[in-house]
Structure 1
Amino acid sequence: MPAPDLVNGELKLTGRIKTASNATFLGSIGGAVVVYKPVAGEHPLWDFPDGNLANREVAAYLVSQVFGWNIVPRTWLRDGPMGEGMVQLWQEPDPAQSAVDLVAADAVPATGWRRVLDGRDNRERMVTLIHEDSAALRRMAVFDAVVNNADRKGDHILAMPDGHRHGVDHGLTFHVEHKLRTVLWGCLGDAFSTGELEGIDRVSAQLAGDLGDTLAGLLKEEEVAALAVRCARLRSEARFPAPSGGMSPVPWPLF
């Protein structure tokens, strides 16, 4: 059976994902299951341009491709039942796995996990936010720092059955101001590995070539320039950055 034409094939809606903050639908193109976020369903934000979140999702996918780590599932722009929007191949996570978790403060595993922060739950019990101590989440944290991800919630990390981790929901990225809000602070201050530095180098190099040309059609000129500056700064510091500024360093809700 030939592969479906994901760009021009009929996009049929099969359901709505009601937990999303913007209009988000489940659909199919041929035999492929997809997520569809129409631009018309984007809620205005005070700090991001209106009608531009879909572009940022596609830009994040393109940067992910250059990193070469398969973080963001295939994502593209196309027309649909509610107009132009972002379409992304659906990924079915393993419900038995969690890459990020909230546990009792006295129950943090001794190995295999990184502590992010401590707090109290709605019953005033001490709890700790943790994430896997894994190469996959380190790479995702590098990616988030590069694209300036303002919304890396725990449920935006999909734990796949084969152990791979996908990141989704990248509409709040590429702002010119520091906006990094993430649950992946567990590696704060650690030196980047050789492979992580090489990934940043690939993005920097491609910004002067095909990647930069393509992003120019999706983002503002100053946003692409800020991306290049972030790459250069991260490469120079060569370690996971710390939170900065007066805003919360984690998104809310966390999941």
Structure 2
Amino acid sequence: MYDDEALLATGDIELVGLIESSSNSALLVQVLGEAEQSMAVYKPEEGERPLRDFPPRIYRRERAAYVLSEGLGWNLVPPTVLRDDAPFGPGSVQKFIPHDPRQHYFTLYDNHPETHEQLMRTAVFDVVANNTDRKGGHVLLGADGHVWGIDQGLCFSAPFKLRTVIWEFAGLPLPEDLVADLQRLEDDLPAELEELLFPVEQYAIQLRVRELLDAGVLPFDETGGYRIPWPPL
């Protein structure tokens, strides 16, 4: 099978259209290789809005989220690469996941209990990555039943500022398989994160992992409801 990451990294990029619902510029593109093609989402640096609490080039954090997901072995983030030769300059290119837009975190949790194990994994990932913007619509159900997390540019701050809609698993024990994955990460981060994040942000990942392992459960929202992004969907 053709490697998705290789296709995204080397294929020709053709613009299809603008994704209007995105707060920063996000473009639907087609990536064409010699034998395969794929729809993808291209987020150029040029289209980013300046943020007070994140440095420029947040598109690189989309790649960092993919690298972290792969390092954990969780296959949570769609294949994501960095491209300097894209139509509007440097940015991230992430494989587009065909999905039912009527399904999101809230519908999955309420109506699809078979996804709960994957949703809990997403909650753990967000704590480790310090996701400040996990909206319900950032959780997709693929055609094969696999749960994906998208829009992870606002992750990896050193200060803890988790904002997420996924609180239903708070206080539940961490499954043994996830504990084993986190233990590997505690002492050995994926090497590529050194190129994508500041040293203090890398250290903070390991600190959050240790705190999770020490607690053995997912944290509660100790602010009384302020750790939910707006809008929640």
Large movers: runs of 4+ above 6 Å = 1-4
Question: Which structure would you say has the larger Rg?
Answer: 1
With over 3 angstroms needed to count, the CA separation of the structure-2 counterparts of 1:135 and 1:2, relative to structure 1, is closer
Aligned with 2:75 (options 66, 70, 77): 70
Identify unmatched segments of 5+ residues in structure 1. 103-107, 114-131
Aligned with 1:25 (options 24, 27, 31): 27
Aligned with 1:87 (options 65, 84, 93): 93
**Aligned letter for 1:15?**
G
Percent identity between the two aligned chains: 39
SS at match of 1:100: helix
Structure 2 equivalent of residue 56 of structure 1: 61
Output the TM-score relative to the length of structure 2. 0.89
Distance in 2, matches of 1:93 and 1:40, equals 28
Structure 2 equivalent of residue 38 of structure 1: 44
User: Is the Cα contact below 8 Å between 2:8 and 2:95 reproduced in 1?
Assistant: no
**Aligned letter for 1:19?**
S
User: Is the Cα contact below 8 Å between 2:115 and 2:147 reproduced in 1?
Assistant: no
Aligned with 2:9 (options 3, 7, 10): 7
Structure 2 equivalent of residue 118 of structure 1: none
SS at match of 2:62: helix
Aligned with 1:167 (options 149, 152, 161): 149
Moved more, 185-194 or 239-248: 239-248
Output the TM-score relative to the length of structure 1. 0.82
Deviations 1:166-218 (A, max 9, x none): 000001100011111111100111111101211211322332xxx1x311111
Distance in 2, matches of 1:170 and 1:75, equals 11
Structure 2 equivalent of residue 201 of structure 1: 183
User: Is the Cα contact below 8 Å between 1:58 and 1:86 reproduced in 2?
Assistant: yes
Structure 2 equivalent of residue 235 of structure 1: 213
Distance in 1, matches of 2:10 and 2:160, equals 37
Distance in 2, matches of 1:112 and 1:27, equals 31
**RMSD of the alignment, in Å?**
2.3
Q: Shift of the alpha carbon at 1:230? A: 0.6
Which structure's residues are more often helix, by fraction? Answer: 2
With over 3 angstroms needed to count, the CA separation of the structure-2 counterparts of 1:244 and 1:53, relative to structure 1, is farther
SS at match of 1:217: helix
Which structure's residues are more often strand, by fraction? Answer: 1
Identify unmatched segments of 5+ residues in structure 2. none
**Aligned letter for 2:204?**
A
User: Is the Cα contact below 8 Å between 1:24 and 1:37 reproduced in 2?
Assistant: yes
With over 3 angstroms needed to count, the CA separation of the structure-2 counterparts of 1:238 and 1:2, relative to structure 1, is closer
Deviations 1:37-78 (A, max 9, x none): 00111101111112x211111111001001112100000100
Q: Shift of the alpha carbon at 1:9? A: 2.4
Distance in 1, matches of 2:52 and 2:168, equals 29
